[in-house]
Amino acid sequence: MQRVTTIGVCLAALAFAGCTSGHAEPRHGRDTLVVAVRKEPISLNPLLLEGTDAYTYGPLLYSYLTRYDENGRVVGDLVREVPTLANGGVSSDGKRLTFALRRGVRWQDGAPVTARDVVFSYEAVMNPANNVPERYGYDLVASIRAPDPYTVVVTLKRAFSPIIGFFFGGDSNYPILPAHLLAGARSLNAVGFNASPIGSGPYRFDRWDRGDRISLTANAAYYAGQPKIEHLVLPFIQVDSTTINELDTGEIDAAFLVDASRIAELRAIAHHRVVVTPVPYFYALAFNLRDPLLSNRTMRESLALAIDRQGLTEKVTHGVYDADTAMRGLFTWAFDSHTKATRYDPALAETLLARDGWIPGSDGIRAKNGRRLRLELSFPAGSGITTRFATAIAAAEHSIGVDMTLHQYARQQYIETGGPFLGGHYQVSLYDYQATVDPDVSWLLACDQRAPHGFNVAGYCSPRVDALLRRAAASFDRATRVAAYHTVQAQLAADLPYDFLCQISEVDVIPDNVGGFVRPLLAPFGSAASWHWE
């Protein structure tokens, strides 16, 4: 347990972990770990999942072609060796990739995992009958073939270096699915597999108690060795106060992706450590550039100038999130620390609005040609941090004469195809974006990714940025890519389609006597096969 007298030592060490003393014997026995997750998934078929749900159940139940290690390097999962130019797995023109699969990997029903499964999984992603959240990266595949049971050859329409992480890899929502069980289905949206899956990952599906929890059992035949913790139990707990209480009483052992604003309470839980990890997630405001008010850059700049990012982030997240590295949450290893966000200057915001003809009325709200300056800020429910950010931002805008109202939606409603966010039915949006370890940002910025055809929800289109993104993605040279992405960041700061608020850090709470936990790059369950009670 972290004591008051040791707080300074812990923070000074910059270990991002709560100090602990002593150990507690697990309440559920040493063969079980109970880990709270925020919400119940809609399916256990990862092709139908997005975000944290995909990064929870994918690594536990299934295997990928490649994954990331704790240092952000691409390493093999189902492939023996990651394809590169040097080893011949990537052709000299960057358009052909050859994946050599491990032999001896089996599905949990005993069938072998082969190249046929990879081809089928790709076809399932691209099948328009399947409700997959996105096809970015996969849509660049010109052809895929399996010349033998353990070789997959992928030909691309153009060179695209991020494909190594995207194509059933660490940056993808999608692992490999069993062709022998699913190939006969016209659509995977409602097959029985989705509620009782068979994978090839470190854990086997045991049972799903609807509305309560999912239980998993260690896969004795897992190719990398049977996990040491026999049972994983994942109860659905959305309310953070409940999570904290049950960590305190021992009803649950661990919790991931906990609300950063509760950091002090989490660090006070006995026999646990708090692991805080900056991840490629970020909060940003998206300005709908199709809206007549927001197509005006002066309006966007004024709105951005009114927000005290540092003060807001410090107050709401107690310093866990970082306002200075918001773009690092998007550009990861290609982040340019010299590209600064719009500074906090409400006086300048008011000056710009006045120059543009927006004059304060008797109630302080500005008007122009008889029209009040009223905007709506939309955001998804489910996170206390998001709600507090939205409330504070609306107050900041009100202080410069903008009547900003709030519209909160159920998260699934907000992000569904054709909904407020992806359908472009908003003026200003606040969202907690999940990016990828590879800094390819075409999914957010490219002209051909404008919603509803992609995740470019602002509707931003810059020919210069498009050319830079293509140049970066076509290169397998990191220095070339970094230089291009630095220029993109400068152009983003100039154009301001998005206002980047802060980089998100993941907050995980685990027992101090559980070893093998690896700081997550995208999701904490990626190291589950190595967890063990000490």
Question: What does the DSSP 8-state code read for residue 499?
Answer: E
Which amino acid type is present at position 349?
A: A
Please tell me the CATH code under which domain 63-194 is placed. Answer: 3.90.76.10
Class of CATH domain 1-40+201-271+512-534 = alpha beta
Place of tokens 């498009």: 466
Question: What does the DSSP 8-state code read for residue 191?
Answer: -
Place of tokens 């309560």: 212
143 sits in which H/E element: strand 141-148
User: Beta 514-515 vs 532-533: how paired, if at all?
Assistant: antiparallel
Three-state DSSP class for residue 98 = strand
What are the phi and psi torsion angles at 75 (to 5°)?
-130, 165
- Residues 157 and 264: their CA atoms lie apart, in Å, by 51
Percent composition of the chain: helix, strand, coil (DSSP 3-state, to 5): 30, 25, 45
Give helix 384-399 / helix 309-317 axis angle, nearest 10°: 150
CB 282 within 8 A of CB 500: yes
Sequence-separated (6 or more) residues with CB below 8 Å from residue 463: 447
pLDDT for residue 12: 34
CATH architecture of 279-505: Roll (3.10)
pLDDT, tens digit only, all 534 positions of the chain:
332 333 233 333 333 334 444 556 667 778 999 999 988 999 999 999 988 899 899 999 999 999 998 888 999 999 999 999 999 999 999 999 999 999 999 999 999 999 999 999 999 999 999 999 889 899 999 999 999 999 999 999 999 999 999 999 999 989 999 999 999 999 999 999 999 999 999 999 999 999 999 999 999 999 999 999 999 999 999 999 999 999 999 999 999 999 999 999 999 999 999 999 999 999 999 999 999 999 999 999 999 999 999 999 999 999 999 999 999 999 999 999 999 889 999 999 999 999 999 999 999 999 999 999 999 999 999 888 999 999 999 999 999 999 999 999 998 899 887 889 989 999 999 999 999 999 999 999 999 999 888 899 999 999 999 999 999 999 999 999 999 999 999 999 999 999 999 999 999 999 999 999 998 888 789 999 999 999
Which amino acid type is present at position 88?
A: G
CB 134 within 8 A of CB 147: no
Residue 418 backbone class (left: φ over 0; alpha: ψ -120 to 50; beta: rest): left
- Residues 390 and 381: their CA atoms lie apart, in Å, by 11
* Residue 186, Cβ density class (10 Å: 0-12 exposed, 13-18 middle, ≥19 buried): exposed
Residue 326 backbone class (left: φ over 0; alpha: ψ -120 to 50; beta: rest): alpha
Question: What does the DSSP 8-state code read for residue 162?
Answer: T
The number of C-alpha atoms within 13 Å of 304 and in the hemisphere containing its C-beta is 24
209 sits in which H/E element: strand 203-209
How is residue 34 written in tokens? 């109970």
- Residues 231 and 229: their CA atoms lie apart, in Å, by 6
Place of tokens 């023996």: 80
State yes or no: cis peptide before 162, omega within 30 of 0.
Answer: no
Nearest to 188 by CA among 128, 105, 106, 237: 128
- Residues 151 and 128: their CA atoms lie apart, in Å, by 26
How is residue 386 written in tokens? 């998001």
Adjacent-strand bridge partners of 286: 429, 498
pLDDT for residue 161: 97
Three-state DSSP class for residue 125 = helix
- Residues 84 and 159: their CA atoms lie apart, in Å, by 13
Identical fold for domains 1-40+201-271+512-534 and 279-505, yes or no, is no
Give helix 297-305 / helix 346-355 axis angle, nearest 10°: 160
What are the phi and psi torsion angles at 153 (to 5°)?
-115, 125
pLDDT for residue 521: 84
- Residues 69 and 61: their CA atoms lie apart, in Å, by 18
Which amino acid type is present at position 208?
A: W
Dihedral of CA 245/246/247/248: which sign?
positive
What are the phi and psi torsion angles at 25 (to 5°)?
-65, 130
User: Beta 366-368 vs 359-360: how paired, if at all?
Assistant: antiparallel
pLDDT for residue 453: 83
Which amino acid type is present at position 441?
A: V
- Calculate the alpha carbon distances from 10 to 260, 319, 320, 365 in Å: 17, 15, 14, 47
How is residue 437 written in tokens? 């370890």
Which amino acid type is present at position 302?
A: S
CB 68 within 8 A of CB 130: no
Domain map of the chain by residue range? 1-40+201-271+512-534, 63-194, 279-505
Nearest to 393 by CA among 287, 493, 258, 496: 287
How is residue 43 written in tokens? 């399916």
pLDDT for residue 10: 34
278 sits in which H/E element: strand 272-287
Using only the alpha carbons of the chain, give its radius of gyration: 24
How is residue 395 written in tokens? 């107050």
- Residues 454 and 144: their CA atoms lie apart, in Å, by 23
